Amino acid sequence: MSEEKNDRGKRNEVFSGNNPQGLPSTNVMMEDFGFEVPVETVPLPSRGVTYPADSPMHGVETLSIRAMTAREEDILTSKALIKKGTVISELLKSCIVDKGFDPDAALTGDRNALMVALRITGYGAGYRVEVDCPACGQRSKQEFNLAELPIKRLEIDPISLGANLFECELPVTKKTVRWRFLSGKEEREISQTAERRKKQGQLNDNLVTTRLTHCLQSVGGITDKNKLSFFIRNMPAKDSLFLRRYIDKNEPGIDMKSWMDCPSCLESSEVKLPLGASFFWPDAE
Ligand SMILES: [Zn+2]
């Protein structure tokens, strides 16, 4: 394909307020059907600094995505993929133009940014969904603009470039701990395990320690898994809360919060956008 044709590729910024450099788009549909599947660039909240040097995502600030087509609707409706819980991974693999991108290795926040971008390029930025009013509890249908969700970029430095490993000191035990952000795959495994326990009638009463077990990599230089799990179960609640809040506060991603006006009590509140079925299956206009 000629340079000239590549340059004709329609490229928009998916999110307002970002200015990623464009990458060449392909014009497959253009050749025969005169329709161009748009390619857009999406900023990666992690700026690629947590991916190892041999990863195609290392140091990558933006990725290119191709807008969803009917092929991706096949993925969205695949019963097998829904059952396996890999719909979003397959969707991302199918739409990300950059070679070698592994959605399972991507941080949750990077995946979420890509997922929202795919939704915007596929069906537009308007997202109508039912939410509960935090003030009075009344459920109402609200319309949100996904393009206005702010990107939260990574602002703390890993212990070395290309390492998903960060360090901080706990306030009570004064221990220096090293921890990592979870990948989309790990998040999925945690929720699948919780789901399985629920089905078996077991209580999910260990969510805090389960997450910390996945995040925490060393305490005062000790990396032994058994010792770490002992530390996690017995660490002071204040240290545990500090660590969870510190990780949350610094986790790169897309802030899925927006404002709503309640039609019942007329109160304005900030709400977390639910990722319901209509996220990829918008209402008929
Ligand atoms: Zn209300």
Question: Do 218 and 239 fall into the same domain?
Answer: yes
Whether the per-residue pLDDT at 210 is higher than 80: the answer is yes
Output the CA 138–ligand 1 centroid distance in Å: 5
pLDDT at 40 (0 to 100): 87
Whether the per-residue pLDDT at 19 is higher than 50: the answer is no
- Structural domain range at position 241: 166-251
Question: Do 247 and 207 fall into the same domain?
Answer: yes
282 pLDDT band, cuts 50/70/90, is confident
Whether the per-residue pLDDT at 196 is higher than 90: the answer is no
The neighbour count for residue 126, using CB atoms within 10 Å, is: 14
Model pLDDT for residues 22-43, shown as the tens digit of each residue: 434 455 567 767 777 778 899 9
Burial class (CB in 10 A: 0-12, 13-18, 19+), 109: buried
Asked if 52 and 58 touch (Cβ cutoff 8 Å), the reply is yes
pLDDT at 27 (0 to 100): 58
Output the CA 271–ligand 1 centroid distance in Å: 12
Residue 160 counted as domain residue: no
- Which protein residues have a CB closer than 5 Å to ligand 1 (ion)? 133, 135-136, 138, 262, 264-265, 267
Model pLDDT for residues 72-119, shown as the tens digit of each residue: 999 988 999 888 888 888 999 999 988 888 888 999 999 999 999 999
Residue 284 counted as domain residue: no
Question: Do 50 and 146 fall into the same domain?
Answer: yes
pLDDT at 283 (0 to 100): 65
Residue 285 counted as domain residue: no
Contacts of 160 (CB under 8 A, 6+ apart): none
